[in-house]
Amino acid sequence: MLSPEKLKMLRLVHGVTLQNVGDEMGVSKNYISMIENRKVSLSEEQYHKLVDAIYAAHRKKNSKQEDVEENIEAVKEEMTKKKTTTKKTTKK
């Protein structure tokens, strides 16, 4: 099973929102956020439903491969910014 952080990355790479995934699963966007932030844990069945919901939401958006590649780059940039910000904060 993927970690909650990797589930979030999977969602971001596919360009779907918490709301999109929540709608697919029949739960609130807040619940999806709680999963991604390790506030609640998932059974194996719920995990598979979440992964399926991410892919289903992605298909509904009819994203093209180029969109996925752009989202990957955006996620990489966001992660780089967070690392840079963390390094600056810890140096003070």
What average pLDDT does the structure give for the chain?
87
pLDDT score at 75: 84
Q: Specify the number of domains making up the chain.
A: 1
CATH of residue 63: 1.10.260
Is residue 29 domain-resident?
yes
Is residue 14 domain-resident?
yes
Is residue 56 domain-resident?
yes
Type of residue found at 54: I
Is residue 92 domain-resident?
no
pLDDT score at 73: 82
Residue-wise pLDDT tens digits, 37-78:
999 999 999 999 999 999 999 998 865 556 777 778 888 888
User: Domain range spanning residue 57?
Assistant: 4-86
List for the chain the helix, strand, coil content (%; round to 5): 75, 0, 25
pLDDT score at 80: 84
Is residue 91 domain-resident?
no
Radius of gyration of the chain from Cα atoms?
Answer: 14
Is residue 39 domain-resident?
yes
Taking every pair of Cα atoms in the chain, the longest distance, rounded to a whole number of angstroms, is 46
